[in-house]
Every structure is written in C-alpha cells, then in structure tokens.
Amino acid sequence: MEGMLARLEELRARHRELDRTIEELETAGGDDIKVMGLKREKLRIKDRVAWLSAKLTPDIIA
C-alpha cells in the first residue's frame, strides 16, 4: 500500500512537470511533434493516476 502511494505521488509530480514543460514549449513556439508526444505521455500518466487512485479507494456500496 505504501509503495502504491509513493508511486502515485511520483506520477503526480511527473504530471505537473510535464504540464509546465508543455506550457513552456507552447509559449515559446516549440516543436509541435515534441509537444504532442509530451501530451500523450501526460495522458498516459493521468490514466495511471486514476487507476492507482481507484485501487487505493475502498469500494463503498451506498
């Protein structure tokens, strides 16, 4: 469980880092192909964060 929490925090940090990098590249008129690749990576990380969060959240039937 602690390993999953640590991994979740690592993924969130990487997601924030990618967000800043993408914003900087777009502002500076950076390479569109590179930006697209970074956005794809960011989306994969977002999906992984959602999956891990769901695994860590107990199922509560209301």
pLDDT recorded at residue 58: 80
**Residue 14 counted as domain residue:** yes
pLDDT recorded at residue 59: 75
Distance of CA 7 to CAs 1, 35, 61, 62, Å? 10, 25, 27, 29
**Residue 7 counted as domain residue:** yes
**Residue 50 counted as domain residue:** yes
**Residue 61 counted as domain residue:** no
Q: Model-level pTM?
A: 0.83
pLDDT, one tens digit per residue, over 6-37 is 999 999 999 999 999 999 999 999 899 999 99
Residue 52's φ and ψ, nearest 5 degrees, are: -65, -40
**Residue 62 counted as domain residue:** no
Residues of the domain holding 48: 2-56
Whether 62 shows a pLDDT value over 80: the answer reads: no
Q: Are 19 and 57 in contact (CB under 8 A)?
A: no
Please give the tally of structural domains in the chain.
1
